[in-house]
A and B are shown apart, each in its own frame.
Chain A
Amino acid sequence: SSMFVFPHKLILKTCGTTTLLLGLRRLLRIAAVDAGFPFHNAASTEDINVAATPHRVFYSRKNFLFPDRQQGPHTSWKEEVKFLDDTFENGSAYMVGRMNADHWYLYMTTPTSSALTPPLTPRSSNTSSPTRTRKIPTGIVPHVSGAGDAPADETLEVLMMDLDPELAKQFYLEQASAVASKQVPAQAQEARRAALGSLGDIDSTVDVFENCGESDLAGGQGAEIDVTAGEAMTTEGHALGTVVSDTCGLAQVYPTSHYPDARIDAYLFSPCGYSANGVVPAPDAGAEANDNKPAHYWTVHVTPEPICSYASFETNVPSGQNGRRTSDTIQHVVDIFKPGRFTVTFFETKNKTADDEAVPQPAARAGVDKRMDGIKGYRRMDRIIHEFDDYHLVFRYFERE
């Protein structure tokens, strides 16, 4: 599982039987109380139910393999939608793809201006009931300088099923350990340094909390140490995760040769399974020169067991950055796992030019790029395009030829 925290948004992607939506109301409370975002459902932050008003919300997933083993509201899409509808106003739920095969679900709220949606009457601050009865409005964002200059946003997600069994073995602890043992220590060290982006060369610091408790992790009580000591104090899971990142090819999705500031944090689970997060600063966004240049992320999660083999890849690195097309990225990732079938979802903001409504400009949209239909070794079975108020969504489904 992974979480990405930006100043203005949070992305949480969780695996297995985690209960993601059960953390939603706590998230909204944290956003109000600890981050200071506006709220409209309570008189003050003292109210136990206080919840920040989000600008917008997305919740999505592929159909589960074992829905009956899920917990909380995650046993069915219907229950998840009910939970979200009970929480938010302005929500819409969609199913994309074949009902009798791999399909994908999306719930999203639509931003509305405060002029259109007046704030709800604040609740009494002395109530202590944990049962919230009012829905949280979305989209009420105060106008501030720069609000109209929101950068383009795009997200690519590749969900792969039925992984090649031989390639899936890379993501087992036993095999990864064998691979690591064949590397001379200097090579292993070099692989880790490459994956972490030569931390020692960029004025970075490794902050290690050995044997720390939760409060220590949070409070930043760990000792600042140099990179050499940090390498020695890594865990087996992180060390082997780095080896796997390098040997399987994931470290080359956004290679440091093209993205010199990119970083990877990977972990190999026991007895198997793998997760990695990548942070990719925008080109030339070095040091203090580009405070407004965003960093992007990518994340991978792998479940290699044959009975439920699955891998996901997600990124918001803009297509075309450093000359790399989205179709190149998809091909690279698919070649790592060689799945029997996979889906691709691509979200991108609409062109906000004045003539956007009158003159559609499909050629300018990466999501409809025909090259994304031609992944070598696969036949595209479906391509479904959804047009929302401010986003395009393109869903594709591929099967091995």
Chain B
Amino acid sequence: TFSPAPGSLQLTINHDIAADLDSTNAFEGPEKLLEVWFAPSPTALPPTARDNGLKGVSPSTWEGMLDMVNCKVLSIVKSDHVDAYLLSE
């Protein structure tokens, strides 16, 4: 493991999923969009929140949730302010 320098980005590719993904049966275009806020801003996290709030949650923990959604992680770009997950389906 490592800690990227401030301002840097880190790309992670999940080869297990991304290498052999078959999307033949995908058919529905319109997506569903969910946005959940737990604080008004990144600088207004409640005192009980861990450092970095949601961003401090490990990808494996999110994977458990994403399994319920029927999505798999293809790759992740991590930055200081936001982590962007590219997902299957």
A contact set with B: CB distance below 8 Å? 1-24, 26-28, 30-31, 34-38, 52-66, 69-70, 74, 141-142, 144-147, 149-151, 157, 159, 161, 196-197, 199, 202-215, 217-222, 224, 230, 233-238, 261, 263, 265-267, 269-273, 275-279, 281, 285-288, 291-297, 299, 301, 303, 305, 307-312, 314
Contacts and interface: CB of A to CB of B under 8 A. Distances in A.
Given A9-B37, A35-B56, A142 B47 contact: yes
Given A144-B44, A218-B60, A310-B29, A37 B38 contact: yes
B32 A61 contact: yes
A61 B23 CA distance: 22
B13 A303 contact: no
B28 A55 contact: no
Interface residues of B, number: 81
Given A10-B35, A219-B58, A37 B49 contact: yes
B39 A141 contact: yes
Nearest to A71: B70
Interface string B24-51: 1011111111111111111111111110
A311 to B, nearest CB: 8
Interface of B: 1-2, 4-16, 18-19, 21-24, 26-50, 52-66, 68-71, 73-77, 79-89
A212 B84 contact: no
Contact of A7 (B9, B14, B27, B45): B45
27 contacts: A2-B85, A4-B82, A9-B54, A16-B28, A19-B70, A37-B48, A37-B49, A53-B38, A56-B36, A58-B33, A66-B28, A69-B28, A70-B28, A197-B9, A199-B9, A207-B12, A217-B73, A218-B58, A233-B13, A235-B18, A238-B13, A238-B74, A267-B86, A275-B87, A295-B79, A295-B80, A311-B29
Contacts of B77: 263, 265, 277, 279
A58 B60 contact: no
Contacts of A214: 16, 60, 63
Given A8-B40, A16-B89, A310-B29, 13 more contacts: A14-B69, A21-B32, A26-B64, A34-B57, A35-B54, A53-B38, A58-B36, A141-B46, A204-B11, A217-B14, A235-B13, A238-B74, A297-B82
Q: Could you tell me the dominant secondary structure of chain A's interface residues? A: mixed
